[in-house]
């Protein structure tokens, strides 16, 4: 038995531009705090808000076209573009990136592997839309998985690179004593994976009693039965947890392979200098 989404679209309350403007006025709180405390984030908030509006409007028009055409190729291209942009975000969040194309390739590859695997699993087992590549299901599922998997991968890679730099002496000492690169880097790898997985662990622990995530809230507002919305939220949380685990593991282990070599040497020369220490 599979989960089916049941929403009565007639119960959706329309929201106009004026309603959105009222909500956007809350950004004045950010501006006021920035001016009063000298935070210097007022301009960043405005740019981020403008970027969000433009991106969401663009996504809305793209989704309308996807829903009308029902093409596996258009769905696939859209999914690939989403993954490529997510890979760029992973690279941008690193303090010390892998040098060369690896900075982008590793995060994107881990994202592609994890997000594709769990989204395909959901589409072919639990959700099972007809056809299975229906963009109305595939793109939202992929988007939710990507957003959270991105955080796990970026945090895991950041913890790995920072940890290897910090523990360089102990890692190289273990290598000199005959340890393999996996044995020498194990404490750093464990810490990196723990860091990458902690956000989704906290999210699952808080979901329900502390927070009602967007998936369940949106469906309830759209008229879905609460228990059906809860089922969908559980499905999404499990998919996100699996995607984050797969993505963070692939990224961290791939990072170890890149930052060591076949002769079991630590290769921190394959990292770029810290951006925080770079002269301005």
Structural domain count of the chain? 2
Amino acid 2: pLDDT: 44
* 278 within domain boundaries: no
Residue where a domain stops, chosen among 69, 96, 115: 69
118 shares its domain with 165 = yes
Residue where a domain stops, chosen among 29, 46, 69: 69
25 shares its domain with 97 = no
Amino acid 11: pLDDT: 55
146 shares its domain with 260 = yes
* 241 within domain boundaries: yes
65 shares its domain with 142 = no
Q: Please say whether the beta carbons of 66 and 135 come within 8 A.
A: yes
CA distances from 2 to 123, 213, 252 (A): 10, 22, 34
108 shares its domain with 51 = no
Q: Please say whether the beta carbons of 5 and 224 come within 8 A.
A: yes
29 shares its domain with 154 = no
Task: Go through the chain and tell me how many residues it has.
Answer: 280
Pull the structure tokens for residue 215. 């998936």
40 shares its domain with 75 = no
138 shares its domain with 149 = yes
Phi then psi dihedrals of residue 213, to 5 deg? -65, 170
Amino acid 45: pLDDT: 86
19 shares its domain with 79 = no
Q: Please say whether the beta carbons of 248 and 196 come within 8 A.
A: yes
Residue where a domain stops, chosen among 69, 103, 133: 69
Amino acid 1: pLDDT: 37
154 shares its domain with 87 = yes
d(C-alpha 205, C-alpha 198), whole Å = 11
85 shares its domain with 58 = no
76 shares its domain with 63 = no
**Host domain of residue 26:** 15-69
User: From the first residue on, what is the mean pLDDT of each consecutive set of 10 residues in the chain (280 residues)?
Assistant: 44 77 86 81 86 89 84 87 88 84 90 91 88 87 89 93 94 93 94 94 82 70 78 88 94 94 90 65
* 1 within domain boundaries: no
Amino acid 8: pLDDT: 46
Amino acid 235: pLDDT: 87
Amino acid 4: pLDDT: 44
């Amino acid at each position: 038995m599979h989960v089916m989404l049941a929403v009565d679209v007639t119960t959706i309350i329309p929201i106009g531009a004026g309603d959105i403007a009222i909500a956007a006025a809350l950004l004045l709180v950010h501006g006021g705090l920035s001016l009063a405390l000298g935070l210097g984030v007022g301009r960043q908030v405005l740019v981020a808000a403008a970027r969000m509006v433009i991106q969401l409007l663009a996504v809305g028009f793209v989704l309308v076209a996807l829903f009308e055409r029902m093409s596996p190729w258009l769905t696939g291209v859209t999914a690939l573009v989403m993954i490529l942009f997510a890979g760029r975000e992973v690279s941008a969040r690193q303090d010390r990136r892998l040098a060369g194309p690896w900075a982008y390739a590793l995060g994107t590859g881990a994202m592609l592997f994890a997000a594709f695997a769990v989204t395909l699993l959901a589409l072919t087992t639990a959700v099972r839309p007809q056809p299975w590549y229906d963009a109305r299901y595939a793109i939202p599922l992929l988007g939710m998985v990507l957003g959270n998997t991105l955080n796990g991968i970026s945090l895991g890679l950041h913890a790995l690179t920072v940890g290897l730099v910090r523990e360089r002496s102990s890692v190289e000492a273990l290598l000199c004593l005959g340890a393999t690169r996996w044995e020498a880097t194990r404490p750093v790898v464990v810490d990196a994976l723990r860091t990458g997985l902690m956000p989704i662990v906290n999210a699952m622990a808080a979901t329900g009693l502390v927070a009602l995530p967007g998936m369940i809230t949106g469906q309830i507002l759209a008229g879905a039965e609460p228990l059906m919305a809860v089922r969908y939220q559980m499905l999404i949380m499990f998919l996100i947890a699996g995607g984050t685990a797969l993505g963070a593991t692939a990224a961290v282990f791939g990072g170890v392979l890149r930052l060591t070599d076949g002769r079991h040497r630590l290769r921190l020369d394959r990292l770029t200098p810290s951006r925080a220490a770079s002269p301005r």
